[in-house]
Structure 1
Amino acid sequence: MRTRRILAAVTAAAALAGLGLTGAATATAATAQGARSYVTPSECRQGGGTPAINEEGNYCKGGSHDGEKVD
């Protein structure tokens, strides 16, 4: 009888731990998707790049924001 209670407690603890890990992974994925995908012309220049606004795609050329869309 005591063994069954211990086994039930271990199973419940493992199930709760699994739910906690799943929630943490979901929160990380939501944060990564919510990040903006553009920089301002000022941010592009501050990062050492040149905003190529008149060229197709409006991207930042060079610097730390190289290849990011300028908006």
Structure 2
Amino acid sequence: MGIRRILAAVFATAALAGLGLTGAATATAATAQGAPSYVTPSQCRDGGGTPAINEMGNYCKGGTHNGEQVD
């Protein structure tokens, strides 16, 4: 009977730990969605755009990275 209690405690702890990890992963994914996107000047050019480094905001103009900030 003692073994059953120990196993029940182990399973309960594992279940709670699993829920905690799932919640943390969801929170991380939600935070990452709103993060700004940065590309290098070469990535901007490779995507068919022009890095507007000297203009305010340093954005990539045109191509697949249009509107992303150049870093």
RMSD after superposition: 3.4
Q: What is the TM-score with the length of structure 1 in the denominator? A: 0.57
- Residue deviations 1:15-63 (CA, integer Å, cap 9, x gap): 233123124x16x717837x77322221111011111122221110111
Structure-to-structure mapping, 1:23-42, within 5 angstroms? 23=24, 25=25, 29=28, 32=32, 37-42=37-42
SS of the residue aligned with 2:60? strand
Q: Which segments of 5 or more consecutive residues in structure 1 lack a partner in the other structure?
A: none
**TM-score (norm. length: structure 2):** 0.57
Corresponding residue for residue 50 of structure 1: 50
Cα distance in structure 2, aligned partners of 1:9 and 1:41: 53
Specify every segment of 5 or more residues in structure 2 that has no aligned partner in the other structure, as ranges. none
Percent identity between matched residues is 64
